[in-house]
Structure formats: structure tokens, C-alpha cells
Structure 1
Amino acid sequence: MNSNKLRRMVIIAMLGSVATVLMQFNFPLPAIPPFLKVDFGEIPAVLAVMTLGPVAGITVELIKNLLHWFLSGSPTGVPVGEIANFTTGILFILPIYYIFNKFRTAKGLIAGLIAGTVSMAVGMTLLNYAVFLPMYTYFLNMPPVTGDALHVMLFYGILPFNLIKGAILMALTILLFARMKTWIEKQRTKLMPE
């Protein structure tokens, strides 16, 4: 195994571990359903896509959610929350990768973060409607959420939650990028696959 491949694996494992720890410090937002919680576990995945590429970012998201499931369990017995969080992370980080990879500037990062936030908010609203809310209610033996309650949940809960979460992650990522720009470029030059 060459040293760059080993270094990539170590960085991905470290970022996945940091993401897991950050996911443990989650918190709800006022006036949003309390099962929706903000965590900062996406930030290590953003660093991974910026320095190592999309596969690394997805792997960090996978490590984070698998470890979280093993550490915390799931009220449904099935890791519905972790699958939803993994999907949220992918919807957030992939637009960042594609736009930042094209421009490699702070403006490119901001454009990627905005695209990632919109992708996450719209994607998770649709996926909660079609997949995740029905899964939760099925595995918890609850009646399905329908009608006005479903619309309120989607458009006054899930959509604004993901927009707010994206804005928080955007602010933190921009601050981190300002501090770590040199390191990010150095790692990117050394380790980004061709």
C-alpha cells in the first residue's frame, strides 16, 4: 500500500470519528419539531470532499452514521434516522464538491454551500414525504401522518429546519475555510485522486 493511499485512509477515518463525536452534540431548534436536531457532523465530510473528493466525503458520512447507530441505537429498531442523516449529508456535500472543485475559491465554496443547502432542504422535504416519515410511522406502529398535519410537518418543520441547518453549517464552514485554506490546498494537491 503506498503512503498516499494510507494517508487518505487515515484522514478519512479521523474525519469520520470527529463527525461521529460532533453528531453526539445535537440540539433541537425552537419552534421546530423536537425530533429534528442540528449537529455539526457534516463539517468533517465537507473537509473530506474539499481535500479528498466525493468518495471520501460519502465515506465520512457512512462512518459517522454507522458509529452513531452502534453508539446510540434507534427507537425504531431500524436506523431510519441514520439513513435520513446519511442522505441529508450526501445531498449537502456533493454540490459543494462539484462547485468548489470547479472554482477552488472562497466564492466557489460559498456557491457550493448555498447549492448544498438548497439541495438538502428540497431533497429532504421530498424524501421525508415519500420515504422517511412513512418509514418512521411504520416501524413505530403509529398512524401515518397525512393531510394538514403532513403539510405542516413538511413546510413548517422539515423545510425550514434544513434551511436553518444549512445556514449554520455554511457559516461554520466559511470560518473554518478561512483558517484552513492553506492546509486544504496542500492536502488536495497531495491526495486528491486524478
Structure 2
Amino acid sequence: MLTAVVDNLFFVAEFLGIVFATFVVAFVFEKIANKRSGYDGPVITTQKIAMIGLFGAISTILMMFEVPLPFAPAFYKLDFSELPIMIVTFAFGPVAGVLTEFIKILLKVMFKSTSTAFVGELANFCVGASLILPASIIYIFNKTRNGALVGSITGTIIMTVFGSVFNAVYLLPKFAQLFGMDLNAIIGMGSAINPSVSNIQTFALMIVAPVNLLKGTLISTLTIVLYKKFSPVLKQGKAFREVNMAK
């Protein structure tokens, strides 16, 4: 029992370390972009904090509505919680996106706790960040519709590849370890749906990759469609810098 608690505490510490590292990457790139554009103000403003809180709450609500997928085990479901995060990220930069992603996870744990020893929450944060971070970094250096499109496509590809590798190498083995499960039992859930699944690598390729590709494609498409409608409202206030997406 004590060993399980210690393992879980170490895992939470690793989780927070990943969050911090992701924030640092976002902060560095945003500072570089701000310097190139001639903006010397703070990366985080009061208005941004308000939007981070608001969109984090909206994302948490959307996270509660999950759609089961016929080609994946029950613990892989589709939700649209990344959509508000992508919108606020394009409007206010990668730092706002990473913080909103973290707030979403924090609120989810506060209101619904965790049923996966925080493995699901870490997966959601990391995979979500692997979409929004590259997309927003590309967009912040090229604030046009093409920049948003290239960023979204790049983010979706990175999300698909990273999510698959991260699940195979770390998340699924960690989930099995924390729950005292045999990893083969998880692989068996995949092979019951797709006979091509025979090991952790084919599980990631045949199950995880399609889930992330589908989610990334849907979120990116909806973001491109909806961003122009939301951006005038998001940018109200003198402290908000223009981040217009060209028609």
C-alpha cells in the first residue's frame, strides 16, 4: 500500500515537472516572437488570466462529454475540450494555451477526481499540449490564415506521432504499473477490437494513432472555422494585442 502511494506521488511530481517544462518552452518562444514584433510588455496580463480561467472552465465542461469510439477500447474516448484551448491559444499565444490546458486538468480533478491515478490526466495534458504548442508557435510567427492552417496541420501530425509513442513507451506501462495490471491485458483489449494488435507497438499504431489523428483533425478544422467569429470578442480591451488571421 505504501509503495503504491509513493509511486503515485512520484508520478504526480513527474506530471508537474512536465507541465513546468511545457510552460517554459511556450514562454521562451512567445518572448522571442514578442521581441521580433516589437512588443515589450508582459507575456501574462490580467486580461489574459481572465480568459485563461474562462476558457479553462469551458474546456473542463466539454471534457465531461466524451464520445466512445468503435475502433478503440472504452478508456479511449473523444472529447472537444481542446477546441476552446486552441481558440484562446491563437488569440493570446502559447503561454495562455499551456496554462489553459493545465487549468482544465486542475478543474477536472477538483470536480471529478481521477479514476486513472492521474495517468489519464497526464495523457490528456501532454497530448493536448503536443497539438496546441506547435500550432501556436508556428502561428505566433506567422499570424495569417495560412499560418494557422500550417500550424494546425503540424500540430495534428505531432500530436498523432507523439501521442502514440508516449502511450507505448510511458503511459500504458505506467498505467499498468500503478493499477497492478498486466500490460498484456491492456493489449488484449485492443486485439479484441482490432485483431492486428499483438503488442504495445501495434496497439499504439492501430488504436492510439487513429484516435489522436481524428481528434487533432476535428479540433483543428473547427478552430479554423470558428476563430474569426470569436476573435473580435476575445480582443476587446486596450491591453489585447491584435492577432488577426488574414482572410
TM-score, shorter chain, exceeding 0.5: yes
- Secondary structure of the residue aligned to 1:59 is helix
By how many angstroms is 1:188 displaced? 10
Residues 7 and 159 of structure 1: CA distance in aligned 2, closer, same or farther (over 3 Å):
same
Distance 1:102 1:189 in 2: 22
CA deviation string 1:54-113 (max 9, x = no partner): 11111100010111122222223x211001100011100011111111221222111111
1:177 aligns with 2:227: yes
Q: 1:116 corresponds to which residue?
A: 155
Q: 2:30 corresponds to which residue?
A: none
Gaps of 5+ in 1: none
Gaps of 5+ in 2: 1-41, 188-196, 242-247
Q: What is the RMSD of the two structures over their aligned residues, measured on CA atoms?
A: 2.2
Distance 2:86 2:224 in 1: 11
Residues 188 and 169 of structure 1: CA distance in aligned 2, closer, same or farther (over 3 Å):
farther
Q: Which moved more, 1:148-157 or 1:55-64?
A: 148-157
Q: 1:36 corresponds to which residue?
A: 76
Kept after mapping to 2: 8 A contact 1:52/1:187: no
TM-score normalised by L of structure 1: 0.88
1:106 aligns with 2:106: no
- Secondary structure of the residue aligned to 2:115 is coil
Letter matched to residue 153 of structure 1: F
By how many angstroms is 1:135 displaced? 1.1
The equivalences for 1:124-163 within 5 A come to: 124-145=163-184, 148-163=198-213
By how many angstroms is 1:35 displaced? 1.1
Kept after mapping to 1: 8 A contact 2:91/2:231: no
Q: Which moved more, 1:175-184 or 1:102-111?
A: 175-184
Kept after mapping to 2: 8 A contact 1:50/1:188: no
Q: 2:111 corresponds to which residue?
A: 71
Identical aligned residues as a percent: 32
1:190 aligns with 2:230: no
Distance 1:142 1:82 in 2: 19
Kept after mapping to 2: 8 A contact 1:51/1:191: no
Count of residue pairs the alignment pairs up? 188
Q: Which moved more, 1:81-90 or 1:150-159?
A: 150-159
Kept after mapping to 2: 8 A contact 1:120/1:162: yes
Kept after mapping to 2: 8 A contact 1:117/1:166: yes
Q: 1:10 corresponds to which residue?
A: 50
Which portions of structure 1, spanning 4 or more consecutive aligned residues, are displaced by more than 4 angstroms?
Answer: none
TM-score normalised by L of structure 2: 0.70
CA deviation string 1:142-187 (max 9, x = no partner): 1124792323321110011100111111121112124234445x46
